[in-house]
Structures are given as C-alpha cells and as structure tokens.
Structure 1
Amino acid sequence: MTPLIDAPASDRIAFDDFMKVDIRVGRILKAEPFPEARKPAYKLTIDFGPTVGVKKSSAQITRHYTLDELDGRLVAAVVNFPPRQIGPIMSEVLTLGFPDADGEVVLVGVDRDAVVGGRLF
C-alpha cells in the first residue's frame, strides 16, 4: 500500500457511509516479532472488550515502536473488515495509523484512558 501523503481529499460521503466503518479502541495485550512478514512488522493481540473480543493484527510499525512500549497501549482499529491472510497469520482487524514524512506508520493515538471496545464517533 502506498502512503497517501499529500493525496487530494476523497469524495464526500454520507454520514451513513462513515458509520459502516466500525472503528473501535482496543488495548494491546501482546506484541510479538513477525519475522515471516515481507516488510518489517509486529503481530499484535488486541482486546476490544466483550462485544468484539480479542483480535489479531499485523502492523508495519517497527520503525517507531518497540515491542515493550506497545504492551498495554490503546490503539484504534477497523474491526469490521473481512480477515486477511498476512503470511502465516490471519489479521482480523486493521490497526490505524498515519504516515510520517518517510511514509512510515505512526499509530493513531488515544490521549486519555478510553473504554476498551468504545466506538469512534
């Protein structure tokens, strides 16, 4: 995927279209190396609370984050995309981030303690 740095704004959508994308806050329970990935990445196990549950994700965030600093961190993710096979793991959610100046991923941050499983609005 090419980072969308300086890309033009997308076409307008209806609010109902936005609501189709289920973005939730989750807490990283475990971050592990993912040496089988084509590009440097981590395997994340994220708790989204009792409604969504615990899900796995692959995230190309090795440039800015160590495994230790990811444990317990709150992240935002799309939880209603179909699962996607990434090497030997099934990535069940899309962990969200923005590109830095070099196109490397910077995680979307939650700056206060939010309820795990809470939906973005």
Structure 2
Amino acid sequence: MSERAGPSAEISFDDFMRVDIRIGTIVSAEPFPEARKPAFKLVIDFGPEIGQKKSSAQITVRHSLDELVGRQVMAVVNFPPRQIGPVRSEVLTLGFPDEAGHVVLAAPSHPVPNGARLF
C-alpha cells in the first residue's frame, strides 16, 4: 500500500468494529537482526484480559530501543499470528509513514488503561 494513496473503499461500521485495535504498554524491546528489514522485537502488555503479546515492528529509523519500554502503542490484536523469521508476531503494531516513509508509532495523546479499545 502506498503511503500517499487516496482513501480506501467505503466500509460499514460493522467492518470497522471487526478490527480490534487496543492500547498496550511496551514492556521489552530488543534488536531483531534476523529480520529481512530492520526491526525490533517488542513485548506489549495489553492488560489482564489480553495479556502480553509479541510484535515485530519496523520502527528502527524513527525510534530507539531506549525510548520504547514504558511507551503506550496501538496495535491490532485480532489478526492471526505471523511467523517473521524466528519470531511469531502476535499483534500488528500501528504507525504512520513520515515524509521519508519511516514509521512513526501511533499512540494516544494521554495515558489510557492497557487493553482499552479504539472506537
């Protein structure tokens, strides 16, 4: 998908509600040298109902490891897991491309409880 593409086709509200986007706090972040494209391995805490989930995130240009732990991020939690090299990525961490196409994480402007759902 091109980061400058026009809007997608119209969907129903029910379609939107099937995508489960939650907030979680990164509890660990480490390099992922085995990934084809530069990435970090993240463990994100989505609260007691969902628990901690792993994610591979291509965020190495705009984010550093030392700034990630403790940061809240948004992720899709109901996609099937994907095997990315030796890591089973359980959630899709969300972000937007900057002017150069590097990913900037999507996050709330104020802290919210882990596991809160986007609506």
TM-score when scaled to structure 1?
0.96
One-letter code aligned to 1:83 = P
Question: Which among 87, 94, 106 is matched to residue 96 of structure 1?
Answer: 94
Amino acid at match of 2:4: D
Ranges of 4+ aligned residues in structure 1 off by more than 4 Å: none
Residue by residue, what CA displacement relative to the aligned partner does 1:70-100 show, whole Å, maximum 9, x if unpaired? 0000000000000000010000000000011
Task: For residue 111 of structure 1, report the CA deviation from its aligned partner.
Answer: 1.3
Q: Which residue of 2 aligns with 1:19?
A: 17
Aligned to 1:70: 68
What is the aligned-residue identity percentage? 66
What secondary structure is seen at the aligned counterpart in 1 of 2:49? helix
SS at match of 1:50: coil
Q: Which residue number corresponds to residue 28 of structure 2?
A: 30
How many residue pairs align between the two structures?
119
What is the TM-score normalised by the length of structure 2?
0.97
Unaligned runs of 5+ in 2: none
2:112 aligns to what? Answer: 114
Q: CA RMSD in A?
A: 0.8
Unaligned runs of 5+ in 1: none
- Correspondence 1:5 to 2:15: no
Structure 1: how far apart are the matches of 2:76 and 2:57?
Answer: 13
Task: Give the Cα separation in 2 of the matches to 1:22 and 1:14.
Answer: 15
